[in-house]
Amino acid sequence: MPLPTSPVIRRARLGAELRQLRRREALTLEQVCDRLGWASTSKLSRIELGQSRPDLADVLDLLDVYEVPPPQRDALIVIARDAATSRGWWKALGEMGERQRTYAELEAGAASIVDWQPAVVPGLLQTPAYARLRIAVGRLLDPALDVDADVRARALRHEVLRRADPPRYTALLAEAACDAGDTPPQVWREQLRHLVDLAGLPHVTIRLLPRGVAARGGAQPLTPYSCYSFPDPADPRTVMLEALTTDVRLATAVDVDRYERLTGWLLEAALGPEETVAALNRLAVD
């Protein structure tokens, strides 16, 4: 069952709205917490930063302090419920690590997703065999990593592209991402055929940036990133930057606009969808 909204984004939206309300009332974190009898400001700070799944009762108390009238109050209660969701779909993702969980939340409620990958096939497009190889590499740095659980979790994430109301998905791949490297030939051919099959879906677009071709001004980002937009235009567009040990989430309009502009330049330079599929088919038979 897909989520109608992305909990991590609704938490960010709720936090921003509550912070605005507090500032409108010219109240400090300490003053609000004193009125509510909260032991420290860290609880409110985490809610405002979208860093914790809010308790609806706490949100209702905050709305009382800020004297929020209907219908604004009703709208914020809906957002708070989305942010604190405990649907069965979410419970099915319980074995996910924190990093995959964040991506799953973003993907679940997205209207559109754009992935840029300079070196590997994006997670949403990976076959189980290819995913296992990529995830297993992580055990060199984190021996506690549960490879089997991560592979199962990634397979659950893939369902977002097969559901009845999928997001529009675009994968931008540097040519290096389509090099077999040390991937076993059988696994790699299966992965290439899978990319071709997915490119045949009406909501999936795959674009290849040939080696030696750069975006406008020579721009070619070395860091993988993903851009997300959501059905509710008031929910913040978001960019996730993928790093070695953690990921960075950007949600300010200035940051997101820059990445969306860069994405446009990459799309200008990349092969078209049909040319990309032809190139993938050639690689699959080489």
Task: Read off the pLDDT of each residue in 227-236 and give the average, rounded to a whole number.
Answer: 92
Cis bond before residue 118 (omega within 30° of 0): no
Task: Read off the pLDDT of each residue in 178-196 and give the average, rounded to a whole number.
Answer: 93
- What is the average pLDDT value for the chain, to the nearest integer? 90
Q: What percent of the chain has pLDDT over 90?
A: 63
13 touches 49 (CB < 8 A): no
CATH number assigned to the domain covering 7-84:
1.10.260.40
Task: Read off the pLDDT of each residue in 166-187 and give the average, rounded to a whole number.
Answer: 93
pLDDT at 7: 82
**Residue limits of CATH 3.30.870 in the chain:** 94-284
pLDDT at 93: 57
pTM for the model stands at 0.84
**Residue limits of CATH 1.10.260.40 in the chain:** 7-84
Per-residue pLDDT tens for 101-148? 889 889 988 999 999 999 999 999 999 999 999 988 888 888 888 888
Per-residue pLDDT tens for 70-114? 999 999 999 998 888 645 445 555 567 778 888 988 998 899 999
The tokens describing 106, both together, are 């973003």
Q: With both helix axes pointing from N to C terminus, report the angle between 128-137 and 147-158 in degrees, rounded to the nearest 10.
A: 140
pLDDT at 50: 87
pLDDT at 4: 58
Residue 285: pLDDT over 90: no
pLDDT at 90: 53
Task: Read off the pLDDT of each residue in 217-236 and give the average, rounded to a whole number.
Answer: 90
The tokens describing 198, both together, are 């997915």
261 touches 169 (CB < 8 A): no
pLDDT at 192: 96
pLDDT at 92: 55
Q: The domain 94-284 is classified under which CATH number: 3.30.870, 1.10.10, 1.10.357, 1.10.8? A: 3.30.870
Per-residue pLDDT tens for 55-73? 999 999 999 999 999 999 9
Q: Which residue has the higher pLDDT, 204 or 53?
A: 204
